[in-house]
Amino acid sequence: MAPAEKPALLIRLCAPRGFCAGVVRAIDAVEEALRKFGAPVYVRHEIVHNRYVVEGLKRKGAIFVDELSEIPDTEAPVIFSAHGVPKAVPAEAESRKFFAIDATCPLVTKVHREAEIHFKRGRRVILVGHAGHPEVVGTMGQLPDGAVVLVETVDDVARLVLLDDQPLAFVTQTTLSVDDTAAVVAALKARFPGIAAPHKEDICYATTNRQEAVKRVAPEVDAMIVVGSPNSSNSQRLREVAERAGCPLARLVLRAEDIDWSLFGQLRTLGITAGASAPEVLVEEIIDAFAERYAIEVETVSTADESVFFPLPKVLRPDAA
């Protein structure tokens, strides 16, 4: 008896997807430090929010910690993650004479500098972001306690209690939903017409581009898989964007073994994208898993070209002494 033919499945692959320049720089920083100085290399916080990436670096000799207090006295490199850190962290590293390497994404550093400039000019800084996210903790930690007010939603803006005569400015987390943030920013500008805005959008190019690609694909497919980790803000936003764009089923999946086939069993079309901290190898793994069950055709849907590159921290560059 001939085996049953596999059902046909059209996979619409979003582009751009996956690693952004800041993530590439951060991962390369850990790998180059391991190559240049040997193991161990300590990393404060997950270098990027992806378990597959973190486990791979652990196998090469990286040791991940939540706080510097977990690190013994050492001459080994201590790397700060792409999300950025409060000023207290490099200060602690200096007091303990650690060999610290800052792998903060330059686009996050831009937000830090903006917040500092507004503060120096006497403005109260409002940060649009998600409470507890490492990037938000790092940005708020650039200024003294109480100098930054966090808002997450339009309702938070309505509830703000601020001094009438204090000038205001806002900055945003780099990995937010573009549409959600636009609504919060509009509410801020409506309530505080004189509020100072960033000179250039704080939401990073990669977040924007990945969301635009999902908006294009999501209404045209039966289901959408976002490859990424549950603690990745930009990956969670991609799932939300897919749902809002009209996709009947959108799920965040770390890797192929996490696919719930009871949900993805009867499809004709599938969209796939990946968060900015998810490696392409996991996208390929998921495509291969569908290829075992379906006769697949893969079509790439591209909405932008990306050529952004960030050099390694100076101490890790080939010409460093």
Tokens at 70, concatenated: 């977990």
What phi, psi does 221 have (nearest 5°)? -130, 160
Would you give the distance in Å from CA 270 to the centre of its chain? 23
First vs last Cα of the chain: how many Å apart?
69
Contacts 24+ apart (CB under 8 A), 24-27: 24/310, 25/82, 25/103, 25/105, 25/106, 25/310, 25/311, 25/312, 26/81, 26/82, 26/103, 26/105, 27/53, 27/57
For residues 140 and 151, what is the distance between their CA atoms, to the nearest angstrom?
Answer: 12
Give the H/E segment covering residue 80.
strand 77-80
Nearest to 15 by CA among 178, 203, 206: 206
Cβ burial 55-87 (10 Å sphere, 16+ → b, else e): ebbeeebbbbeeebeebeeeebbbbbbbbbbbe
240 is catalytic: no
**Which one is catalytic: 135, 280, 284, 306?**
135
Active site residues: 135
